[in-house]
């Protein structure tokens, strides 16, 4: 029996990009890719140094880890409000809000360093997480004007652009520290001994500039708004009309998402809490949406859990920071560098099939690293590249399938729920990974991840059949 979605087997209906007079999808993708590069620089700059700064300010490795957790929690908390703004006002105001809050977080982090307050730095990282949330929301913006047969490819282009910012960000942060560090440094590091330099706020200044530039690109070039243009072109039904998802599962109208008014203008909408309820109702009513959302959350949970503990495992094995950095860089390349290829394959073979490919890659990654000692950097590199590829398949194909399965009036609410769930899954993965490492070992963590993937695949097969995907 075929594993393709019914919508994938039949000729794709005309998408918003096919309607004459709409803004070019190429222009939209170029704008979104540029914002991803800039916001990637901001996120990577801050995330790279925040734990080090927190450790220097507090003298505690536990507090250092808290800053990373705060960033993930902040991204989860802001996901639904950003989706609500997108549903009511469009993508541009939503992304402007996300990058604006992140810029404010970077400024607050700068102040925290200068006054030597690690609690203020933790609060700042909560706001800083909004930059990551806006980056995630950008991938869905890439699908607004995409034709159904190109959704995964267009989405993957925006995901790929993150590679540039993620790689360049830490390098620029180091350069900023060398140039402006003497001016933006907090005296001596009280926890590193007499004469040691204190932490520098320069990377956070760089991050704030990057977020402001990302917001400026959105404000100037993301016009007209792709979501509002898509709604106007496809004549989205009123909220009083029930809509059927592509898997023929009837869903209630989305009371938390606005429809476009005359000329694509946004209509009033309920609060983000109502949007959360409406998005949850749509997902629970659609087997395809549940499959897509589950794959996204699983991919992120497993990736964060294994990736976050690999440097610790390697450090126990005596690996140098340079070797650890190379392994993590290879992992990041696996996550982002091949995402256009993943998107192309997903559009060719089917979004659902690609989810099972991603699960197989996650399982292979867990098995490869499970028996690897901390000094076996080659085996760990192979495992983490597979982990990154599996994550890419889950994110790209899962996000495209989620759009496929969601009626247009409900998409922003469901997308907000997706980003909330994804970031929550990442936070849970990080917390569980730390606990497992503390009580057992890295190998136990990897085997646990393998068991989780297998269990989720077994649970997904009947779900896929209900969604007419098998």
Asked if residue 441 is part of any domain, the answer here is yes
Asked if residue 117 is part of any domain, the answer here is yes
Domain that holds residue 83: 22-187+197-224
pLDDT tens-digit readout, 209-261: 999 999 999 999 998 899 998 888 775 443 433 344 444 333 334 333 444 44
Asked if residue 410 is part of any domain, the answer here is yes
Please indicate, yes or no, whether residues 375 and 438 belong to a single structural domain of this protein. yes
For residues 279-285, average pLDDT: 90
Asked whether residue 139 carries a pLDDT value surpassing 60, the answer given is yes
Tokens of 294: 């589950």
Please indicate, yes or no, whether residues 213 and 140 belong to a single structural domain of this protein. yes
Give the CATH number of the domain where residue 334 resides.
Answer: 1.20.1250.20
CB 414, CB 361: distance < 8 Å = no
Could you count the other beta carbons within 10 Å of the beta carbon of residue 65? Answer: 17
DSSP H or E stretch at residue 244: strand 243-244
- How much is the mean pLDDT over the chain? 82
pLDDT tens-digit readout, 8-49: 433 333 444 444 344 578 899 999 999 999 998 999 888 878
Could you count the other beta carbons within 10 Å of the beta carbon of residue 406? Answer: 27
CB 289, CB 405: distance < 8 Å = yes
How many structural domains are present in the chain? 2
Please indicate, yes or no, whether residues 320 and 421 belong to a single structural domain of this protein. yes
CA dist., res. 428 & res. 168, Å (int): 28
DSSP for 289-310 reads HHHHHHHHHHHHHHHHHHHHHH
pLDDT tens-digit readout, 415-427: 999 999 998 998 8
Closest by CA to 131, choosing from 204, 225, 230, is 204
What are the counts of helices (DSSP H) followed by strands (DSSP E) for the chain?
Answer: 16, 2
Least confident of 163-167, 331-335, 386-390: 163-167
Please indicate, yes or no, whether residues 172 and 300 belong to a single structural domain of this protein. no
Residues facing 243 on adjacent strands = 251
Per-residue confidence band for 54, with pLDDT thresholds at 50, 70 and 90: confident
pTM, full prediction: 0.77
Asked if residue 315 is part of any domain, the answer here is yes
Q: 194 φ, ψ to 5°?
A: -65, 135
pLDDT tens-digit readout, 426-456: 888 888 888 888 888 899 999 999 999 999 9
């Amino acid at each position: 029996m075929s594993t393709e979605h019914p919508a994938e087997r039949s000729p794709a209906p005309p998408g918003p990009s096919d309607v004459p007079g709409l803004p070019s999808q190429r222009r939209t993708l170029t704008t979104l890719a540029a914002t991803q590069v800039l916001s990637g620089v901001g996120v990577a700059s801050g995330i790279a140094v925040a734990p080090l700064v927190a450790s220097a300010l507090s003298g505690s490795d536990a507090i250092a880890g808290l800053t990373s957790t705060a960033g993930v929690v902040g991204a989860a908390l802001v996901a639904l409000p950003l989706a609500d703004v997108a549903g009511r006002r469009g993508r541009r105001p939503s992304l402007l809000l996300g990058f604006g809050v992140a810029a404010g977080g970077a400024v607050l982090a700068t102040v925290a360093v200068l006054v030597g307050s690690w609690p203020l730095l933790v609060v700042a990282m909560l706001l800083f997480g909004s930059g990551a949330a806006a980056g995630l929301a950008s991938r869905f913006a890439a699908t607004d004007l995409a034709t159904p047969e190109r959704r995964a490819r267009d989405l993957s282009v925006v995901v790929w652009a993150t590679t540039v910012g993620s790689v360049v960000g830490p390098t620029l942060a180091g350069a900023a520290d060398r140039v402006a560090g003497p001016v933006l440094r907090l005296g001596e590091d009280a926890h590193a001994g007499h004469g040691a330099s204190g932490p520098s706020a320069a990377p956070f200044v760089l991050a704030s500039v990057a977020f402001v530039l990302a917001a400026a690109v959105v404000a100037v070039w993301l016009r007209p708004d792709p979501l509002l243009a898509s709604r106007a072109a496809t004549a989205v039904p009123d909220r009083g009309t029930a809509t059927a998802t592509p898997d023929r599962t009837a869903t209630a109208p989305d009371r938390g998402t606005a429809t476009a008014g005359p000329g694509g203008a946004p209509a009033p909408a309920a609060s983000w809490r109502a949007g959360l309820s409406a998005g949850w109702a749509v997902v629970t009513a659609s087997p395809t949406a549940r499959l897509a959302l589950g794959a996204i959350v699983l991919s992120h949970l497993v990736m964060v859990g294994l990736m976050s503990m690999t440097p610790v495992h390697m450090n126990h094995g005596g690996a140098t920071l340079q070797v650890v950095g190379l392994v993590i860089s290879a992992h990041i390349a696996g996550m982002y560098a091949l995402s256009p290829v993943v998107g192309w394959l997903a559009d060719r073979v089917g979004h659902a099939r690609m989810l099972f490919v991603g699960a197989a890659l996650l399982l292979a990654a867990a098995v490869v690293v499970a028996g690897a000692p901390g000094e076996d950097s080659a085996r760990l590199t192979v495992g983490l590249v597979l982990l990154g590829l599996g994550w890419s398949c889950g994110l790209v194909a899962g996000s495209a399938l989620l759009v496929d399965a969601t009626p247009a009036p409900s998409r922003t609410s469901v997308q907000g729920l997706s980003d909330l769930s994804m970031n929550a899954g990442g936070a849970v993965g990080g917390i569980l990974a730390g606990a497992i490492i503390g009580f057992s070992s890295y190998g136990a963590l990897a085997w646990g991840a393998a068991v989780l993937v297998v269990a989720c695949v077994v649970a997904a097969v009947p779900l896929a059949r209900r969604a007419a995907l098998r």
